[in-house]
Copies of this chain bind each other. A is one copy, B any other.
Amino acid sequence: MSLWNLSRRSQAMQSSAIRELLKLCERPGMLSMAGGLPAAESFPAEALRSVADRVLREQPAAALQYGASEGLAGLREWVAAHLRSQGMTTVSAAQVLITSGSQQGLDLLGKVLAEQGAPLAVEAPSYLGALQAFTPYGPRFVPIACDDDGPLPDDLLTLPQRAPGCRFAYLLPNFQNPTGRLMPEARRQGIVAAAQQIGLPLVEDNPYGELWYDAPPPAPLAARWPEGTVYLGSFSKVLAPGLRLGYLVAPPALFERLLQAKQASDLHSSSLAQHLVLALLQKDVLTHQLPALRARYRVSRDAMQAALQRELGGLGDSPEGCRWATPQGGMFFWLTLPAGLDAQRLLEQALAASIAFVPGAEFFVTGTAGPAERRTVRLSFVTLSPAQIDEAVRRLGTVLRAALAAQGRGPLEGALGGRTESRHATPELS
């Protein structure tokens, strides 16, 4: 590469293990619990076909021409009104930036706020795509200690000492990727109070908030501290990811900078996709779509919970056995394997058995995954059917039993059993 001299930021980028995995997952017969791919059967394809016909007949010039970098005015209005109804009562359309998926929102935030060597605080573990989006901008990632309710306010308060100049804390309060955990009301209050006390801005990523299966989540962090929080949302999980549309809401002073970064990055997001999504929303498609999605994914979640209990419940002795919790929403179970196992090494046997998952260590900042973190696994329940989930988890049990047997430790059937904790099973990670 002597001709092409790479930037330092490029040298920091790494290929995604998830991406390499997803390639393997295309093999026939593979039952993948790896990617967070929404169920394709849930996409509102017929409604889209109908609005595409209308939009391309009635507004072809607007839907196919260059558009404003901010996004389509009507769509920004819809997002603002929607968020006001979710408790973010002060949001105006002028604060809404339409992005090419919420992944782009993360990239823009990295571009505008991250600095070479300056700390960024992230949950441990956190969304891998966010770590990848921020990495080129050279931050020093600082993990925030978490428990089953999410990041610990007391640990946030130590950031001025251990990470002076920290630019923001990146948080996923609703059904976090990868752990599936929900930040309860009291913890939200504690986190916002701590952030305000130390003057640390928050970036709140909420792709999964609408996918609740038991009860709606508490109000967003951004509702409690609008001037100190950037909020990210997405149409990927509630309509379809292939449209690549998301949005962010930023305080006015920051909005202009993010808008400039957006313009420099891709001028604007697809005019056609924005017109289609606005037409869907105006037809009130979400009113049918959301309850149907929740019902579908609730069944899948329950199927995975039952399969895990059946196949892994007796595997290893607690607290050294398999542990997980039933997520209240989102797309993922977070599993802790019996002591001594390494999820990354198990993945090879899993792929040989035609199943796939993501080793939990992927979601930790490089170099921070110890033996406890290397026992973790993320399982998606939204792509496979309940019958496929049964079969995939059955194969996972076979793989785990073989690995334990190879260690000379058979399953301790019936001993203390697998522990399924009340709400969350995220191991305490720091």
Chain A residues with CB under 8 Å of chain B are 1-10, 13-16, 19, 35, 37-38, 40-41, 43, 45-46, 48-49, 52-53, 56-57, 60-67, 69, 100-101, 103-104, 107, 111-116, 129, 132-133, 135-137, 165, 167, 199, 201, 227-228, 236, 240-244, 251, 253-254, 256-257, 260-261, 263-273
Contacts and interface: CB of A to CB of B under 8 A. Distances in A.
Given A107-B266, A136-B111, A257 B69 contact: no
A167 B5 contact: yes
A265 B264 contact: no
B13 A260 contact: yes
A404 to B, nearest CB: 34
Secondary structure dominating the interface of A: helix
A15 B243 contact: no
23 contacts: A3-B199, A3-B228, A4-B254, A7-B115, A8-B115, A9-B111, A10-B113, A10-B261, A14-B260, A35-B66, A48-B64, A49-B52, A52-B53, A64-B243, A66-B242, A100-B100, A101-B266, A103-B264, A104-B266, A107-B264, A132-B264, A133-B265, A244-B271
Contacts of A137: 7, 9
A45 B56 contact: yes
B257 A271 contact: no
Given A52-B53, A103-B266, 19 more contacts: A3-B199, A4-B113, A4-B201, A6-B257, A7-B113, A13-B257, A14-B260, A40-B65, A43-B60, A45-B60, A49-B52, A53-B53, A62-B242, A100-B244, A101-B266, A116-B116, A135-B264, A244-B271, A265-B265
B228 A264 contact: no
A118 to B, nearest CB: 8
A172 to B, nearest CB: 17
A393 B159 CA distance: 61
A40 B38 CA distance: 35
A13 B262 CA distance: 11
Contact of A264 (B41, B52, B62, B136): B136
Given A64-B241, A242-B63, A270-B270, A263 B6 contact: no
A260 B132 CA distance: 9
Contacts of A227: 3
A21 to B, nearest CB: 13
Contacts of A107: 264-266
Nearest to A104: B266
A57 to B, nearest CB: 6
Nearest to A383: B65
B53 A40 contact: no
Nearest to A49: B56
Given A45-B60, A260-B15, A7 B111 contact: yes
Greatest chain B CB density within 10 A among A41, A62, A66, A69 is at A66
Nearest to A230: B4
Contacts of A260: 10, 13-16, 132
Nearest to A251: B4
Contacts of A64: 40, 43, 45, 48, 240-243
